[in-house]
Structure 1
Amino acid sequence: MPKITYIIAGDIGGTNSRFSLHRFGQREPLHGHVYANEVTVTNAPDYHHATLKPYLELCLDEVEEWKSLGEDAIISQVQVVACLATAGPVKTNNTVFMTNMGEGGQSIDGNEIEKCQDGLLSVVVRCKLVNDFVGQGYGSLDLDLAKECVELMPGSIEKIDGFGPRACVGAGTGLGVCFLTKSSLSPGLGYECYPSEGGHVDFVPRDALSAELWEYLKEKHGSDTRISVERVVSGRGLADVYEFLAMKFPDRVDDEIHEEFMNAGDQKGSVVGQNSAKEGSLTRQAMELVITDYGAAVGNASLEFIPTGGMFVTGGLTPKNIGMIQGIDSPFMKAYLDKGRLRPILDTIPLFAVMVEDIGLRGARVCAEREFHGMNLSCG
């Protein structure tokens, strides 16, 4: 008898890990859950297994068709193909080291997960790791542009070239970049997504204050010559930018917010973001600096890829700060369009802000199903 095939999609970011369970071939999930990595990593020293183990146990407790079977039947009758979109460069041996997760980073090993025969983990017959922005890229193909996105350049939906390259740039815990292309010989096969470490290109100061920030971050991170743009355009970057401003302008520090910031641990960026609405505040200025450099980074990527199939601004910072991103006069768009002689090229590129945060999961599901099709397995 063929085993019943399920798909598990995972989006493993620097702050949260999102999972969803699907019947093979079904877009809508049977179950979904979000774990805070600060808790999960702390309680899971063997993390390359624990990414999936607690989620499988949760599915057994909460998914009706799994509950009705029971653990023994699940182990004997079910096979799971998983894809984890992970925030780090994936090595050719199906492993990844995630520098932004936990103290000193964490590794995930897809091969170890596949080989593990510990209880429910034994049902995982394939665990493919992909870069988190490969997940974002494939997920961008699943968006309802009219309902789940905001056009940042007017008329973007009508401008889309169905054969042109696409790209995603997204700021969250870190800064991610990917691009997608169709084969000119076989466009019917659809888009293929490619990872990038474009979030680690050099940060370039835009004014005197940014130049001081650049010097501050070089010293903080122990670099003599450079820092990456991710050191500014990310949740952790936001915390560092605020820290710099608080040092430079001590008379403008709000003592209550600053105390909350100092006690926030890995959530310092969230504290700045949650307090960024107040005009004239340091938290507001920090957010405006980050969003300005975010726009500049997306504009740079648009010039690099010329994504006439669409540039998608993703990541957790995007929907939370759409007021600073949307509109030609916003800090984001001013920096995005500030490209000198090549400014007219940006008028040809469809530009969208993605307002949903699950596109990494959507893309991981697509990758898992593609992986299953390449395996010699039967599907029940």
Structure 2
Amino acid sequence: MKILAGDIGGTKTELAIFDVEQPAVPLFSARFLNREQDGFISMLLNYMRELDIPIQAACFAVAGTVRDGWTRMPNLAWELDEREIRIALRIEQVTLINDLAAHAHGMLTLPPEQLMVINPGVPDAHGNLALIAAGTGLGEAILFRDRQGAYQVSASEGGHADYAPNNETEMELLRYLWSRFGHVSWERVVSGSGISNIYDFLSHTGQYSEPVYVTSHILEATDRAAAITQAAQKGESHRCIEALDVFLHNYGAAAGNLALKSLATGGLFIGGGIAPKLAQHINKGGFMRAFNNKGRFSEMMANIPVKLILESKTALLGAAVYATKTTSH
């Protein structure tokens, strides 16, 4: 029995066919840039026509809130509806789930080599888990431990909660972002666009030097966040280095907030596309200092294990796992 799984983000979409007996191993997979597509249904049908493989069920992880089988994605002008997809694919079982929920389901199946330990901590075998993932946006999920010892996944839109600065620089950053966006969420700071926003703020202050060729490259780049990160990693720009430091400090603070609110004594996991590229920077300490900086609860925070997910297809695998669990064999 074959199932179709998808991970639909703000920038790209990944689709793959899986065998229901082996949901961790994609048989055929493809990646699409969303801006190059006429729409999700059109892209989906083109993919299925090319493969010409009959499927019995499908599950799609989407970067948005799913309600009654429908979602409007906040970082992409797409509306997805389970009913429309069922009609297009001519199958009965189609499920949309939040991408962080899918990420969580996939995370539980990963082998140890796909997890990088940032903080070993003292794991509570009966504690909750939490997942935070910065990419195009900022996603969060909580995995509650039930009485039978299984994890129940709950999606969240915590990335859109109010941003909270922790020092004078971040207070000025908040004021700057207020002037641009009105409401400032954590996603405005901890995401790909967040890196660009921090860089723009530092440019506005005029405090950090940068060679003209670096500034020009960043202004012309299709992916400004990647250009800023690259310049920082090469040591080409004090402004970019500071932007990356501010980003990682805020990422750690947001992760700590999630761990505290969910009481994730079993562990906090970092997913998404950005963190694996910054693994060595995360290990330098700024992330964990902000993670632990929770006043009277700092000691508890230091005991929470923190792990970085290295598998880039975790949400896709999670969608396949979820489809398998909910499919009648």
Structure 2 unaligned blocks of 5 or more: none
- Closer, same or farther in 2 for the Cα pair 1:164/1:155, shift >3 Å? closer
Deviation, 1:86, is 0.4
The CA deviation string for residues 90-130 of structure 1, in whole angstroms up to 9 with x for no partner, is 112x11111112xxx221122101022xxxx33x3322100
Name the residue aligned to 2:290: 335
Name the residue aligned to 1:89: 65
Name the residue aligned to 2:105: 138
Name the residue aligned to 1:372: 327
Partner Cα separation in structure 2 for residue 251 and residue 24 of structure 1: 54
The structure 1 residue matched to 2:95, chosen from 113, 121, 128, is 128
- Please say if residues 121 and 306 of structure 2, whose CA atoms lie closer than 8 Å, have aligned partners that are also in contact: no
Partner Cα separation in structure 1 for residue 98 and residue 59 of structure 2: 10
Letter in 2 for 1:83: C
Scaled by the length of structure 1, what TM-score is found? Answer: 0.81
- 2:178 maps to 1:218: yes
Name the residue aligned to 1:258: 215
Deviation, 1:261, is 2.2
What is the 5 A alignment of 1:135-214?
A: 135-145=102-112, 147-154=113-120, 159-161=123-125, 163-184=126-147, 186-187=148-149, 190-214=150-174
Partner Cα separation in structure 1 for residue 74 and residue 282 of structure 2: 28
- Closer, same or farther in 2 for the Cα pair 1:114/1:321, shift >3 Å? same
- Please say if residues 208 and 239 of structure 2, whose CA atoms lie closer than 8 Å, have aligned partners that are also in contact: no
Partner Cα separation in structure 2 for residue 155 and residue 217 of structure 1: 35
Letter in 2 for 1:165: N
Name the residue aligned to 1:113: 85
Partner Cα separation in structure 2 for residue 230 and residue 245 of structure 1: 18
Partner Cα separation in structure 2 for residue 310 and residue 136 of structure 1: 15
- 2:317 maps to 1:362: yes
The CA deviation string for residues 264-313 of structure 1, in whole angstroms up to 9 with x for no partner, is 34x22122122221445211111111111000011111111121232111
Deviation, 1:250, is 7.4
The CA deviation string for residues 170-199 of structure 1, in whole angstroms up to 9 with x for no partner, is 111111100112321x43xx3221110111
Partner Cα separation in structure 1 for residue 282 and residue 50 of structure 2: 38
SS in 2 for 1:372: coil
- Please say if residues 249 and 286 of structure 2, whose CA atoms lie closer than 8 Å, have aligned partners that are also in contact: yes
The number of equivalent residue pairs is 327
Scaled by the length of structure 2, what TM-score is found? Answer: 0.93
Letter in 2 for 1:368: A
SS in 2 for 1:130: strand
Partner Cα separation in structure 2 for residue 90 and residue 287 of structure 1: 32
- Please say if residues 306 and 349 of structure 1, whose CA atoms lie closer than 8 Å, have aligned partners that are also in contact: no
Structure 1 unaligned blocks of 5 or more: 61-65, 67-77, 374-378
Of 7-16 and 280-289, more deviation after overlay is shown by 280-289
- Please say if residues 138 and 363 of structure 1, whose CA atoms lie closer than 8 Å, have aligned partners that are also in contact: yes
- Please say if residues 170 and 315 of structure 1, whose CA atoms lie closer than 8 Å, have aligned partners that are also in contact: yes
- Please say if residues 160 and 350 of structure 1, whose CA atoms lie closer than 8 Å, have aligned partners that are also in contact: no
- Please say if residues 178 and 193 of structure 1, whose CA atoms lie closer than 8 Å, have aligned partners that are also in contact: yes
The structure 2 residue matched to 1:29, chosen from 26, 37, 48, is 26
Deviation, 1:201, is 1.4
The RMSD of aligned alpha carbons is: 1.8
Partner Cα separation in structure 2 for residue 155 and residue 212 of structure 1: 33
- Closer, same or farther in 2 for the Cα pair 1:59/1:215, shift >3 Å? same
Letter in 2 for 1:268: R
Partner Cα separation in structure 2 for residue 81 and residue 131 of structure 1: 17
Partner Cα separation in structure 1 for residue 208 and residue 14 of structure 2: 41
The structure 2 residue matched to 1:243, chosen from 184, 193, 200, is 200
- Closer, same or farther in 2 for the Cα pair 1:263/1:206, shift >3 Å? same
- Closer, same or farther in 2 for the Cα pair 1:303/1:37, shift >3 Å? same
Letter in 1 for 2:63: A
Partner Cα separation in structure 1 for residue 151 and residue 326 of structure 2: 15
What is the 5 A alignment of 1:257-276?
A: 257-265=214-222, 267-276=223-232
Letter in 2 for 1:135: A
- Please say if residues 252 and 289 of structure 2, whose CA atoms lie closer than 8 Å, have aligned partners that are also in contact: yes
SS in 1 for 2:311: coil
Letter in 2 for 1:39: E
SS in 2 for 1:114: helix
> Identity rate of aligned residues, in percent?
30
